[in-house]
Amino acid sequence: MNNILVSLKKFITNKNTVTVIGVIIILGLLYWGYNSTIESQVQPIRIPVATQTIQPRTLITDDMITYIEVPSVSVSSNVLRSSTAIVGKYTDVNTVIPDGSMFYTDVLIEEEELPDSAFSAVKDGERPYNLEVTVASTYGNSIFPGNKIDVYMKAVDENGLVMIGRLLAKVEVLAVKDSSGNNVFEDSSTTRTPATLLFGVPEDVFILLKKTEYLTTRGVELFPVPYGGTAPIEGDLTVDREELVDFIESNTVTFSDSTDDPSEIVPGQPTDENTNVGTE
């Protein structure tokens, strides 16, 4: 018995034995750690995904979400993992969430955070103006944001003659909207009818355009024409900008010098204002 104990003691205290045992323990720890890491990464977790393609500015509802299991390693830190953080939010402007896609923190916003990118594109010193249009006047809905247009005007003069002329030149379209204010080309899943073209103009031109809205009894109409094109309708007279401005001013009156309230512009006698339109 004593010989066995002595032999065991020598074996344990032998340097080579200690080295071998240490190596075995280290390898065991490495193997355990590696397996634990792999298992934690491939361990499936449940995450919410879209059940349909979700267009920009869309309110997220319960029926747009389902859950799937995926390896945790495939889920980045900006992926939302609970429907409670998704339902009630809106998709951001120019953001489409594909069917089956995860929901990310940087594509969802609150309703009050929804921007109108068109209005933000209006230059300093300009005011946004909505020109009423139809499918026909937009050439079959073929005028897009970013296009350049001329704004033509038709009116009936004091002699009953129809005059046509270009009032504004090379105006950039910032948005095409339907009657509900939705961007016509924003949602690829629906067909929307154009109702207005949004663009920015200087203050004096804005007032001039607002004045034309009160001259329906004089047959005044504004319509877009692709930049550099010709008017699709003919009149008895072709006139220049100055004549159009004179016609507008001679048939309206402004009760106030303030430009903050264009509602004070009404049909009436000539004004003393000298409103000029933009030139190329």
Residues 178 and 142 in one domain: yes
Q: Provide the number of structural domains found in the chain.
A: 2
Beta carbons within 8 Å of 13's beta carbon, 6+ residues apart: none
DSSP 271: P
Do 161 and 95 sit in the same domain of this protein? no
Q: Which residue's entry shows tokens 């939302």?
A: 80
Q: Are 225 and 232 spatial neighbours (Cβ–Cβ below 8 Å)?
A: yes
* Residue 38 placed within a domain: no
Domain that holds residue 104: 44-113
CATH number at residue 67: 3.90.1210.10
Q: Give 239-250 pLDDT, tens digit per residue.
A: 999 999 999 999
Determine, yes or no, domain membership for 20: no
How high is the pLDDT of residue 32? 67
- Report the alpha-carbon distance of residue 250 to residue 215 in Å, rounded: 11
> For residues 69 and 39, which has the higher predicted lDDT (pLDDT)?
69
Q: In 3D, which of 253, 188, 245 has the Cα closest to residue 220?
A: 245
Higher pLDDT, 149 or 109: 149
Q: Which two tokens stand for residue 166?
A: 């270009």
Q: 100 and 171: one domain?
A: no
**What does each C-alpha distance from 150 to 97, 128, 143, 165, 169 come to in angstroms?**
36, 16, 12, 10, 4
Residues 127 and 63 in one domain: no
The pLDDT value recorded for residue 280 is 45
Distance CA 19, CA 279 (A): 90
In the predicted structure, residue 164 carries a pLDDT above the cut 90: yes
Residue 51 has a CB neighbour count (10 Å cut-off) of 13
Q: Using pLDDT thresholds of 50, 70 and 90, give the confidence band for residue 45.
A: confident
Segment 112-147, tens digit of pLDDT: 777 676 777 888 899 999 999 999 999 999 999 999
Q: Are residues 146 and 209 in the same domain?
A: yes
Return the DSSP state at 26. Answer: H
Say what the pTM is: 0.59
Among 91, 113, 135, residue at a domain's last position = 113
